[in-house]
Structure 1
Amino acid sequence: MENQIQRKPKILCLHGFRTSAAILKKLIGRWPETLLKKLDLVFINAPYPAQGKSDVEGIYDPPYYEWFQSNQDFTEYYNFEECLAYLEDYMMKNGTFDGVLGFSQGAILAAALPGMQLEGVALTKIPNIKFLIIISGAKFGGSKFGLPKLAANAFSSPVKCPSLHLIGEMDFMKQEGASLLESFEDPVVINHPQGHTIPRLDEKSLETMLDFIEKTQKMPLHEE
């Protein structure tokens, strides 16, 4: 009981495809203050300017970015290694991160990070990621997305990293998000009625999330 003042978990937040850090920050900013005040959220733009039209044009201001590129049927990926190097470099230069939160393309990337880190093929110069928050995620190697070479074994054994998954009833990625759960050991799930978005949290969802964060705080957080 002696050390009641806990450091807030520092979380790297990865935005969706052809959006931006500013957009994700705005959407997550709608979450209740009771949750936000417990987190140290760091929002980062993906390394590549959008190479095509963004779905959020006319809703949110540009510029828009993407984490990596792929061919039409998601069987070949480009700039994936460079993207991981960019993330690692950012995490080395900006203090130690405890967790990663990702939405959409950012969530697909986030979900594969602990497995790649365990394999020793990515993020080898930084401490292990301690937990994930996956919003509208999917799995590399699942029904829709092929496997980038570096992520070939990311899900070869169940991912032990504690994870919280937010899955939307009306989300076109709902099925992929649900099947991603099978790759994680004891995933915590929040089902919400919305679509492909950062959902507003009702009382029950907020409680689940606060509980998850509290559990991560009981894990020894990385020292700066």
Structure 2
Amino acid sequence: MTESRAHEKPRILCLHGFRMSAKILETQIHKWPETVLEKVDLVYLDAPYLSAGKSGVEGIFDPPYFEWFQGNQDYTEYENFEECIAFIEDFMVKNGPFDGLLGFSQGAVLAAALPGMQAEGLVLTKVPEIKFLILISGAKLGGSKLSAPPLAANAFSAPIKCPSLHVIGENDLVKPESIALLDSFVDPIIVHHPEGHTIPGLDDQSLEVVSNFIEKIRNHATT
């Protein structure tokens, strides 16, 4: 019984922020109530590269810290972008199947671009189609702040149709990019919160939006 119920839970691969870790993301997501978390199966992955510089969470969370890919100062050039996507795909093949992705910050930038790249047949060709996204402090590759690496040049050329939940902080430094990202999705569901660049707790209103989204993806994942 438990096994069949567990099987019905949407399985979500969670991608942490820049110079953070799977463990840090897991700790932060646990600000969300158990009534939400018990309905999904969350799997956390450390990025493939050890942090190449100071982490913004030093002194708050213990190392090690990791990063998915690197960019020059104005993010017009990237390193290890293709390699990190190959790393994610390999993990998905060995540990999947996964129904959707959750990403925070750099993890959300990656997660947002993956369905469009997958639809083009460029990446994630060995795994099932991504059915939904949860993007916290996201931004768009090829948007106003981040140029698109060649592999992601057309990631947003067509509207992204999979259900998407966007968590946007009122005082988040990437708030303009998170809002601009909404235009790339067919039917984005939005949670606004008063905090900055972080995973917020959920007030009653946000909790209702998140719970409804999870109900929607549970139905989607099991059909």
| TM-score relative to the length of structure 1 | 0.96
Structure 2: distance between partners of 1:36 and 1:105: 22
Structure 2: distance between partners of 1:21 and 1:220: 24
Q: 1:106 to 1:5 in 2, by over 3 A?
A: closer
Structure 1: distance between partners of 2:221 and 2:179: 29
1:27 partnered with 2:28: yes
Paired letter, 2:165: L
Q: Which residue of 2 aligns with 1:8?
A: 9
Structure 1: distance between partners of 2:200 and 2:6: 30
Structure 2: distance between partners of 1:162 and 1:58: 36
Alpha-carbon offset, residue 220 of structure 1: 4.2
Structure 2: distance between partners of 1:56 and 1:127: 34
Alpha-carbon offset, residue 30 of structure 1: 1.4
| TM-score relative to the length of structure 2 | 0.96
Structure 1: distance between partners of 2:31 and 2:16: 15
Aligned pairs (5 A) from 1:192-211: 192-211=193-212
Q: Which residue of 1 aligns with 2:171?
A: 170
Q: Which residue of 1 aligns with 2:79?
A: 78
Q: Which residue of 2 aligns with 1:46?
A: 47
Paired letter, 2:49: Y
Q: Which residue of 1 aligns with 2:148?
A: 147
Aligned pairs (5 A) from 1:153-164: 153-164=154-165
CA contact (8 A) 2:131 2:221 kept: no
SS of match in other structure, 1:127: coil
Task: Please give the per-residue CA displacement for 1:50-97, whole angstroms capped at 9, x wherever unaligned.
Answer: 001101111100000000001111011110110010000000000200
1:135 partnered with 2:159: no
CA contact (8 A) 2:10 2:221 kept: no
CA contact (8 A) 1:170 1:196 kept: yes
Structure 2: distance between partners of 1:42 and 1:6: 14
CA contact (8 A) 2:99 2:221 kept: no
Q: 1:4 to 1:58 in 2, by over 3 A?
A: closer
Structure 1: distance between partners of 2:199 and 2:140: 18
Q: Which residue of 1 aligns with 2:61?
A: 60
Unpaired segments ≥5 residues, structure 2: none
Poorly superposed stretches of 4+, deviation over 6 Å: 3-6
- RMSD over aligned CA atoms reads 1.4
Unpaired segments ≥5 residues, structure 1: none
SS of match in other structure, 1:219: helix
CA contact (8 A) 1:98 1:221 kept: no
CA contact (8 A) 1:169 1:193 kept: yes
Paired letter, 1:181: L
SS of match in other structure, 1:56: coil
Paired letter, 2:74: D
Structure 1: distance between partners of 2:120 and 2:154: 7
CA contact (8 A) 2:55 2:65 kept: yes
Structure 2: distance between partners of 1:57 and 1:170: 21
Instruction: Give identity over the alignment, percent.
Output: 65
Structure 1: distance between partners of 2:65 and 2:221: 36
Q: Which residue of 1 aligns with 2:113?
A: 112
Structure 1: distance between partners of 2:143 and 2:186: 17
1:94 partnered with 2:95: yes
CA contact (8 A) 1:6 1:217 kept: no
SS of match in other structure, 2:43: strand
Structure 1: distance between partners of 2:122 and 2:151: 6
